[in-house]
Amino acid sequence: MIQPLLNMFRLIRIVRERGNRPLIRRSPKQLRDFILCRNDLNRKKLLSLPLYWWRMFKGLDMLVWRLETFGFLHLPQTTEEERSRLNEYLDS
C-alpha cells in the first residue's frame, strides 16, 4: 500500500533531474491530457483516473518509460549537448 506513494515521490525526483523543461513549457496541454488520460491512445473516464494512477504508481518503470517516450523526460545517459540538440526545433 505504501509502494505507490513512495513511487510518486521517486517520480517527482526523476522529473526534477531529467525533466524536459522546454517541452513541458511549450506544450502544457499535452502533458495535462496525458495526466488526465484525454489523449486518443489512453482515454479514461474522470472517475476511473484515481484507480488508474494508483495502479500506474505501483510500477514506476512503465510510467517513466511512457514519459520518456512522449519526450517529457530525457534518457538518463543524455548529455547537456544532446538535450539542447533534441530541443532545438522547439524554438521555431
Contacts 24+ apart (CB under 8 A), 84-89: 86/20, 87/20, 87/22, 87/23
Per-residue pLDDT of the chain (92 residues; tens, 9 = 90+): 788 889 999 999 999 999 999 888 888 898 898 888 888 777 889 899 999 888 888 889 988 998 898 889 999 898 989 888 888 877 65
SS3 19: strand
Domain ranges of the chain: 3-90
What is the radius of gyration, based on Cα positions, of the chain? 14
54 vs 5: CA distance, rounded Å: 9
Q: How far from 4 is each of 11, 17, 53, 61, 67, CA to CA, in Å?
A: 10, 20, 9, 12, 17
pLDDT digits (tens, 9 = 90+) for 41-55: 778 898 999 998 888
CB 73 within 8 A of CB 15: yes
Q: Shortest CA distance to 69 belongs to which of 38, 41, 28? A: 41
